[in-house]
Structure 1
Amino acid sequence: MQLTDAQLDRYARHIVLREIGGEGQKKLLSSHVAVIGAGGIGSPVIQYLAAGGVGRLTIIDDDVVTLSNLQRQTLFATVDVGAPKAERAAAVAVALNPDAQAHAVRERIGADNAEELLSGADIVVDGSDNFATRLAVADACTRLRIPLVSAALGQFQGQIGTFRGWEPDLPCYRCFVGDAFDADDCDSCSELGVLGAMAGIMGGWAAMEAVRQIVGFGPDQAGKLHIFDGITPKMRTIRIAKDPACKTCGAR
């Protein structure tokens, strides 16, 4: 694969980075990232991955834009209220960068269809808002051996982790949260609120971790959970242990 003159110009600030360079940019252009949710986290993920040259994006979201989304979901404008999120997000991605192929999936992802929807992706970025979806996505990623970048936020806090649970010494997402006694029980932004800029921080971070997995720069972050407190502000990192009894990735 040869970069065109236009691509050399567009991605010049990536290419001059020793950790990415021309070969790393080619990897991005050849990559396929599936994004779960075009919401607060998904918005900056989609924007930065499209702008940065990820060649193919699959955007999975069955919801429509509402007025209350606009405070943090920067992909959308007032005129988009009522429009399908996945389709509008795909249109914005292509408008940002014609190198990006964006496929909208207006479907709710779950245990019954996750493997089918995610098959063929190089990386999955999950910004969904409930444990049922997160566990279904995570279990499918482990079975398909696709690295998962999982990001979450609420109020002034966010967390992000990368999971490759099929590897012998690394945990999967289920090792972190367990079997989630009530898989649908997740605090929602509508109930607790969220600072819009926190979505930008966590979504941008998730995009960076997806690029890290594709290109391979810096220390591997798999198996670590980064927790950011926006009020203080401060961050701490913990290492997640692999659960030998985990029904997804544990010893059988």
Structure 2
Amino acid sequence: MTLKQDRLERFARHIVLPEVGGAGQMALAEAHVVLVGCGGIGSPALQYLAAAGIGRLTLVDDDVVDVSNLQRQTIFTPSDIGKPKAEAAAEWVRRFDLGLEVRAIVQRVKIENVAQILAGASLVLDGCDNFATRLLVSDACVKLSLPLTSAAVGRFQGQVANFAGHLPDQPCYRCFVGDAFDAEDCDTCAADGVLGAMVGMVGTFAAMHAMRVLLAGRAALGEPQFGTLHLIDGLAPSMRQLRIAKDPGCKGCGFPA
């Protein structure tokens, strides 16, 4: 695969970076990212994944656009209200860059369909709003040997981490949160509130973190930082890192001794 002249011009500011270069831009063009959740985190993450030239995008969300989403979900407009988020997000991608392949899946991720949804991905970026789906996606990524970028936000706190639980020495998302969160109930933005710009900060950081993984071995953007949790405090503001230990008894990624 080679980049055509119009693509070289579009991504010239990437290609001139020694940390990305032509090889890195090619890696992005050949990548397939599955984005789970097209809401507060997924919206800004999608904008920068598409802007980076990720060649293939699969967008998964079973919700519809609501007027209250417009405060933070920046790809949607009032004309999108009532439309399925995945389809409206896919329309945004097509308007933004005809050179990208995009598919919308208007379904909730379930145990019956998760393997099919994630099939063929280079990386999964999970920005959904409930622990049950996050754990299901994490377990599937381990089984399918897929890297996972996980991003979450609550009020003024954000969390972003890359996971590679399919590797013997790396933790998965379940190692981080345990089994207690397999239930559907969790805190919501509707109940707790969320600052739109805070969600944007977390979503764009997640896109950057996903590109670390996609460029690993093809460019020098930095290590994938698997198993390092980045905690973002929007009020301070500050960021700190925690190393997540692999749980040998984890039912998602535990390996026999």
Same-fold call, TM > 0.5? Answer: yes
Quote the residue 1:127 is aligned against: 127
Query: 1:181–1:34: structure 2 CA closer, same or farther, 3 Å change rule?
Result: closer
1:95 aligns with 2:95: yes
Quote the residue 1:157 is aligned against: 157
Quote the residue 1:18 is aligned against: 18
2: distance between equivalents of 1:214 and 1:52? 11
1:196 aligns with 2:196: yes
**Offset of residue 151 of structure 1:** 0.1
Quote the residue 1:208 is aligned against: 208
Q: 1:79 is aligned with what amino acid?
A: S
Quote the residue 2:242 is aligned against: 238
Secondary structure, counterpart of 1:103 in structure 2: strand
Query: 1:172–1:76: structure 2 CA closer, same or farther, 3 Å change rule?
Result: same
* Overall identity of the aligned pairs, in %: 56
2: distance between equivalents of 1:60 and 1:178? 24
Q: 2:144 is aligned with what amino acid?
A: L
Secondary structure, counterpart of 1:70 in structure 2: helix
The number of equivalent residue pairs is 252
1:224 aligns with 2:228: yes
2: distance between equivalents of 1:206 and 1:96? 20
**Offset of residue 211 of structure 1:** 1.0
Q: 2:254 is aligned with what amino acid?
A: G
Q: 2:225 is aligned with what amino acid?
A: Q
Aligned 8 A contact 1:110 1:132 in 2: no
TM-score by length of 2: 0.96
Q: 1:43 is aligned with what amino acid?
A: S
CA deviations on 1:61-102 (whole Å, 9 max, x unpaired) are: 011000111100001001111011000100101211111111
**Offset of residue 52 of structure 1:** 1.1
Q: 2:91 is aligned with what amino acid?
A: A
**Map 1:52-63 → 2, pairs under 5 A:** 52-63=52-63
2: distance between equivalents of 1:39 and 1:97? 20
1:176 aligns with 2:176: yes
CA deviations on 1:112-143 (whole Å, 9 max, x unpaired) are: 21111101000000000001100110000010
2: distance between equivalents of 1:116 and 1:229? 36
RMSD: 0.9
2: distance between equivalents of 1:138 and 1:67? 31
